[in-house]
Amino acid sequence: MQTDFSNNNGSSGIKQDGTPYGVLIVDDSKFVKKQLGRILESEGYEVISTAAHGAEAVDKYKEMKESIDLVTMDITMPGMDGITAMEKIVQFDSSAKVVMVSALGKQDLVKKSFMLGASNYIVKPLNRDKVVERLSYVLNS
Ligand SMILES: [Mg+2]
């Protein structure tokens, strides 16, 4: 498979078979959910669903596993946090791809996430190009 991520024609969210990659967006901030959704949809990804806390994320992943190719997971949320939710999702499906969404300066939490099975991470405030590059990398590796 070609690994050319410089492709900027709005199609990095489309699989080789022409169907979109499905994403579950998890964040307690409506603003971040909307912002991330807009970035992903502009690249052809399909937002399968969103969740506002960890427990909802785990439930939705289990329910919609077949259509979810990737999860973006906020770390800090009320109730079940993102690291715990990611861990539960990876325990349920060892091939799950979960990308953590971290505030700046939380390297310790990012490191912990990697040890517990996260695929990668992105940092808030979100940079469009970096988000797209990171997700493409995760989906193609
Ligand atoms: Mg949060």
- Residue 44 sits in a domain whose CATH number is 3.40.50.2300
Output the CA 2–ligand 1 centroid distance in Å.
35
Say which amino acid occupies 108.
D
Work out how many domains the chain is built from and give that number: 1
pLDDT, position 9: 54
Q: Please, which residues bridge with residue 100 across strands?
A: 73, 121
- 119 inside domain: yes
pLDDT digits (tens, 9 = 90+) for 106-130: 999 999 999 999 999 999 999 999 9
- 102 inside domain: yes
- Report the predicted TM-score, pTM, of the whole model to 2 decimal places: 0.92
pLDDT, position 141: 82
Output the CA 112–ligand 1 centroid distance in Å.
17
pLDDT, position 11: 81
Low-confidence ranges of the chain (pLDDT < 50): 1-8
Output the CA 76–ligand 1 centroid distance in Å.
4
Instruction: Tell me the residue range of the domain where 105 lies.
Output: 22-135
- 4 inside domain: no
pLDDT, position 112: 97
Cis peptide bond prior to 125, omega within 30° of 0: yes
pLDDT, position 118: 98
- 69 inside domain: yes
Which of 78, 52, 59, 71 lies closest to 117, judged by CA?
71
In sequence order, what are the residues at sequence separation of 6 or more whose Cβ sits closer than 8 angstroms to the Cβ of residue 28?
A: 52, 53, 74, 76, 77, 78
Residues flanking ion ligand 1, Cβ below 5 Å? 28, 74, 76-77
